[in-house]
Structure 1
Amino acid sequence: MPDRRYRPISPDLLARELTERIVDAPITRVAIDGAGDAPGELADTVAESLRLHGRETLRVSTKDFLRAASLRFERGKRDPDARYDDWLDVGGLRREVLDPLGPGGSGLALPALWDAERDRATRRDRVRLPPGAVVLVDGELLLGHGLPFDFTVHLWLSPGALTRRLPEDEHWALPAYKRYDSEVAPGEFADVVVRMDDPRHPALIERP
């Protein structure tokens, strides 16, 4: 990312700064976007911090909002374009989580929709959240779908770090991430962008 300043920050301070950005603001729907386990781990930490500050928080992972295997794997199990275009149930995430927690929504959200491992509905019950509650959604390739998030965080990895961090049997998906960076460019518009080449030593990317 040329023409960017990097501010080193500890993982704990990163979570604290994100909490401070959210806790006193009219923010209810938060996306933490990135590859691998880092988005989920950061979302868990921020969710706990928000609860300690008195904001009720629901954690949702896009891993629980994937489409059925017959749709995800229609072009094969290792097709990067399918991973980019077809894996996430965008309509389900909007319908079951984001719209209910938006303005005029019912407040009833479904924490998980689809069990991808068993390839069947999770049969989870909806939960009722009070006004002002926060939903933290983590996932990969999450931005650029037009989903109504109020606050977005993108955990950016350089191409080399992405290759190192993804398991070898996931390297077939690298073209999907490259396409995401090219077509969506989440680092250009997310509210917060964090370089995560080394998760122990993140750096906030500050725009000029």
Structure 2
Amino acid sequence: MRLFTALWPSEEAVRHLSSTVDRLDPDLVAEATAGLRKFRFTAPQRWHLTLCFHGDDADQQHVTDRLERRVAQLRAADPPRLRLAGAGTFRGVLWTGVEAATEADDITLRALVRAAGGDPHDYRAHLTIARWVGGRADRELLPGLFADYAGPWWQCRELTVVCSDLREGAPVYRTVHRAAVPPESSG
């Protein structure tokens, strides 16, 4: 089963970024994406931060048990305060970055990455907002559309284990497990 552990931004954060995307000048977008094949913004309901990709043949029970066990060890940590801000590109991807409000929030975010099974040292918090299949993006022009972007602050209240079902078109996401951050006390 193709699984990943994700953190989803708040509805307010999604609305804010979606509104920013909707207000982009079409001429500037056309200029910034010239030469890119099949450039498209991803749907806001798909916007998430992948903390760990578990692979195409991951064992759901193992992934969820490990996540619960590791998140339970974070009981003293407050949910991190985050916001979406800035932008950059990877090959075929335009992303907006994620800022932590304080150093403690950054430490907690990295602890959540570790709890999910990811490597907190190599982790670059980001949210994919657009994709393309070919061509080279201008390293400044395309991310420059969001260079001054800073969304509202929000707190991460849960992690989700998501099954990504590859079908024609975009993958279909289905949440198979939720883990509260911090974990709800059992007594």
The normalised TM-score by structure 1 is 0.27
Structure with the bigger percentage of helix: 1
The normalised TM-score by structure 2 is 0.29
